Structure 1
Amino acid sequence: MRWIVATVVSTVVLVLVVFKLFEDGMTSSGYCVAQVGDRTVEVDAEQAKWASLMAAKAFERDLSPRAVTIAIATAYQESKLRNIDYGDRDSVGLFQQRPSQGWGTVEQIMDPRYSIGKFYDALVKVDGYESMEITDAAQAVQRSGFPEAYADHEADARVLASALRGYSPAALACATDPEAGTTTDLESYLDEAWGRVRVDSDPSSGQSSIVLSGEDIGVRGWALSQFLVANSTEFGISEVAFDDMRWEAGQEDPGWEPTEDASRTRITFRRG
Structure 2
Amino acid sequence: MRFSHGVITIAIIVVVLAVGVSVGLYFLLKRAPDPLAVPEANCTVRTPEGARSLDPEQAQISATIAAVAARRKLPERAVVIAYATALQESKLYNVRYGDRDSVGVFQQRESQGWGAKKQLLDPVYATNKFFAALVKVKDYLKIPLAEAAQAVQRSAGGYAYAPHEEEAKLLAAAFTGRVPQAVHCWYPQDGTPAPRPRTAEARKQLGRALGSMAITTKKRGWLVAAWSVAHAEKYALSRVGYGGATWSNDLQLEGWQSGGKASDRRVELS
- The C-alpha deviation readout for 1:23-59, integer Å capped at 9, x for no partner, is xxxxxx6211111114111110000111100000000
2:17 aligned with 1:43: no
Could you tell me how far 1:251 is from its partner in structure 2? 2.4
Query: Which residue pairs with 1:208 in the alignment?
Result: none
The answer as to whether partners of 2:246 and 2:260 remain within 8 angstroms in 1 is no
SS in 2 for 1:32: strand
The answer as to whether partners of 2:175 and 2:226 remain within 8 angstroms in 1 is yes
The answer as to whether partners of 2:202 and 2:228 remain within 8 angstroms in 1 is no
Query: Which residue pairs with 2:205 in the alignment?
Result: 189
Tell me, in whole angstroms, the C-alpha distance in 2 between the residues paired with 1:179 and 1:51: 26
- The correspondence for 2:112, drawn from 101, 110, 120, is 101
Change in Cα spacing, 1:251 to 1:196, as seen in structure 2 (3 Å) is same
SS in 1 for 2:238: strand
Query: Which residue pairs with 1:171 in the alignment?
Result: 182
Query: Which residue pairs with 2:250 in the alignment?
Result: 250
The answer as to whether partners of 1:190 and 1:196 remain within 8 angstroms in 2 is no
Query: Which residue pairs with 1:128 in the alignment?
Result: 139
SS in 1 for 2:102: coil
Query: Which residue pairs with 2:262 in the alignment?
Result: 262
Letter in 1 for 2:41: G
More strand by share: 1
Tell me, in whole angstroms, the C-alpha distance in 1 between the residues paired with 2:211 and 2:189: 25
2:242 aligned with 1:226: no
Could you tell me how far 1:178 is from its partner in structure 2? 5.3
Could you tell me how far 1:187 is from its partner in structure 2? 2.8
Deviates more, 1:125-134 or 1:260-269: 260-269
Aligned-pair identity (%): 40
Could you tell me how far 1:153 is from its partner in structure 2? 1.5
SS in 2 for 1:234: coil
Query: Which residue pairs with 1:156 in the alignment?
Result: 167
- The C-alpha deviation readout for 1:86-112, integer Å capped at 9, x for no partner, is 111111111111112111121221121
The answer as to whether partners of 1:69 and 1:154 remain within 8 angstroms in 2 is yes
Tell me, in whole angstroms, the C-alpha distance in 1 between the residues paired with 2:113 and 2:260: 52
- The C-alpha deviation readout for 1:150-206, integer Å capped at 9, x for no partner, is 122111111111111111111111122356778692232122121143xxxxxxxxx
Tell me, in whole angstroms, the C-alpha distance in 2 between the residues paired with 1:135 and 1:252: 40
2:92 aligned with 1:81: yes
Could you tell me how far 1:230 is from its partner in structure 2? 0.9
Change in Cα spacing, 1:107 to 1:260, as seen in structure 2 (3 Å) is closer
Could you tell me how far 1:63 is from its partner in structure 2? 0.6
- The C-alpha deviation readout for 1:58-87, integer Å capped at 9, x for no partner, is 000101111111111111110111111111
The answer as to whether partners of 2:243 and 2:263 remain within 8 angstroms in 1 is yes
Letter in 2 for 1:122: A
The answer as to whether partners of 2:241 and 2:260 remain within 8 angstroms in 1 is no
Gaps spanning 5+ residues in structure 2: where?
1-39
Tell me, in whole angstroms, the C-alpha distance in 2 between the residues paired with 1:179 and 1:63: 40
Tell me, in whole angstroms, the C-alpha distance in 1 between the residues paired with 2:190 and 2:237: 9
Query: Which residue pairs with 1:10 in the alignment?
Result: none
The structure having more radius of gyration, on CA atoms, is 2
Q: CA RMSD in A?
A: 2.1
Change in Cα spacing, 1:117 to 1:110, as seen in structure 2 (3 Å) is same
Tell me, in whole angstroms, the C-alpha distance in 1 between the residues paired with 2:162 and 2:253: 29
Tell me, in whole angstroms, the C-alpha distance in 1 between the residues paired with 2:52 and 2:149: 21
- The correspondence for 2:69, drawn from 37, 58, 72, is 58
The answer as to whether partners of 1:177 and 1:250 remain within 8 angstroms in 2 is no
Change in Cα spacing, 1:196 to 1:178, as seen in structure 2 (3 Å) is farther
Letter in 2 for 1:58: A
